[in-house]
Amino acid sequence: MKTILGQFVDINNKQIFAAEVTIKNGKIASVIKKEHNVQNYILPGFVDAHIHIESSMLVPSEFARLAVLHGTVATISDPHEIANVLGKKGVYYMIENGKKVPLKFHFGAPSCVPATSFETAGAVINSEGIKELMANKDIYYLAEMMNYPGVLFDDQEVLKKIAWAKHFNKPVDGHAPGLRGDDAKKYISAGISTDHECFTFEEAQEKLAYGMKILIREGSAAKNFEALIDLMPKHYNNMMFCSDDKHPDDLIVGHINQLCARAVAKGIDVFKVLQSACVNPVKHYNMNVGLLNIGDNADFIIVEDLADFKVLQTYIDGELVAENGESYVKPVSFDKPNNFNVLPKKVSDFKVAATTGNVRVIEALDGELITNEIHAKTVIKDENLIADVDNDILKMTVVNRYQNTKPSIAFIKNFGLKKGAIASSVAHDCHNIVVVGTSDQEICNAVNLIIKNKGGVCAVNGKQQKNVALPVAGIMSDKNGWETGKAYQEIDAMAKELGCTLRAPFMTLSFMALLVIPDLKLSDKGLFSGNKFEFVDLQM
């Protein structure tokens, strides 16, 4: 038995009082009002309501070692990324690795593997696979239904997946950026309960009115906090915080605690903020996480104040797992499954014969997953299309990692590289190799470095190169979070030294192959319009 003294934050009753909290056998045994001089605050732990652990480039056990430092006690985790590489085997890998550490991972069944039929993934999970996963007690929900056209057009395979979630009485997560009006109503009426993809106040407000819960996302690339946070004072009972995708260097600095601090700084009532950050996810997903009620699992944190939310201690099941910036979560051993079967490429593989020179260009937007389609006239050399570095119209490729096929080619604006190339095998959703570069030679060098390491992120410029190897499924490191975070900071810095003007170059790069986010994207099969939901020609 242990006792904790502090200012007890009672979110349900919106009050704070001096208390003594008793923990016995990992549960809250009592909460007694008691005068004392301890000014630290006791509150439920933070929950990330939607995250792809893989995007931290860390396996779950290593993610946990960093997350607990910031008061995170649990996550709602979609193993969509590893599932696209390894299928159900990848989902089970994440579950088993996560069980080796105290942090409470709540994994979902990935609903869209592959995300579309317009790209090559490493696996398929059909409705029968969803049935198997949903029957598993370690699966808590059907993860984001990105195939919203399938819902709208009554695709039977899509509807079967949703039906299995309902059969097992588990929530269905949504993913429908920009969906409005009658289409949004139909999507929600199918049983889809959340959306983390809203990027305007009006869209989120409309979906809330239709009965959907809205997640405010602030990740390493997609940042929607400022657009949506003003909805919280009125709609806090139906809102949550999430990061979706968070790179390791960002995770070292902070997590959901940062969003709470920003919300309070905007003048939002602290109880409403904590309702969204701590309570709502636990109730919506029926999580195995305590909320400081008598008899609950002792999952809670102690913070210095209710403004900056500096975390002094983190407890999970009554166990002290982090204190004053030190993580007590021990490293564990883990396997390194992978699926990387492509041979090295030649420079000639990236040449595109010019027909008109007028091309469709992907316009990347800093801090957004959405892109625009713009048109430009690029440079022609030796009858081939090449990058127009002076006007920031760079060449982009996606290379199939699962089989040897011809790379697909596009052009992209707003990466800003003046020399070299950057590449990644963290490329949503299928995790093929995606590269942006200033020349065919640099692009080829970057691709082959990724292939050599069977996954990773890299920056190259002639003989200069930096690389973070990701041998676990080609998307996660076999190193600890601090080492991975430091290496990632160095490669991020090199990308910016090459001229990249984006805040998070590799995170933005990873979404340039994400076809389910409008508009123009590139898969290993070609240039794709998310608005038209069909392939389009590069040259016009």
pLDDT digits (tens, 9 = 90+) for 117-149: 899 999 999 999 999 999 999 999 999 999 888
Percent of the chain with pLDDT over 90: 93
The confidence band for 357, taking pLDDT boundaries of 50, 70 and 90, is confident
Confidence of residue 367 (pLDDT cuts 50, 70, 90): confident
pLDDT (tens digit, 9 = 90+) per residue, 279-316? 999 999 999 999 999 999 999 999 999 999 999 999 99
Q: How far is CA 205 from CA 165, 178, 211, 238, in A?
A: 26, 12, 10, 11
Residues 6 or more apart whose Cβ sits within 8 Å of residue 117: none
What does the angle CA 159 – CA 161 – CA 167 come to, to the nearest 5 degrees? 100
Query: Quick one: 441 exposed, middle or buried, by C-beta within 10 A (0-12, 13-18, 19+)?
Result: middle
Q: What is the mean pLDDT of the chain?
A: 96
Q: Give pTM, 2 decimals.
A: 0.94
Domains of the chain, start order = 45-288 (3.20.20.140), 347-535 (no CATH)
Mean pLDDT of 414-443: 97
Q: In the predicted model, what is the mean pLDDT of residues 438-464?
A: 97
- Are 311 and 71 within 8 A, CB to CB? yes
Q: How crowded is residue 356: how many other Cβ atoms within 10 Å of its Cβ?
A: 12
Quick: pLDDT tens for 235-252.
999 999 999 999 899 999
pLDDT confidence of 28, banded at 50, 70, 90? very high
Residue 501 clears pLDDT 90, i.e. is over it: yes
pLDDT at 221 over 80: no
Band of the pLDDT at 410, cuts 50, 70, 90?
very high
Q: Which helix (H) or strand (E) holds 66?
A: helix 60-67
Three-state SS letters, 468-534: EECCECCCECCCCHHHHHHHHHHHHHHHHHCCCCCCCHHHHHHCCCCCCCCCEEEECCEEEECCCCE
pLDDT for residue 100: 98
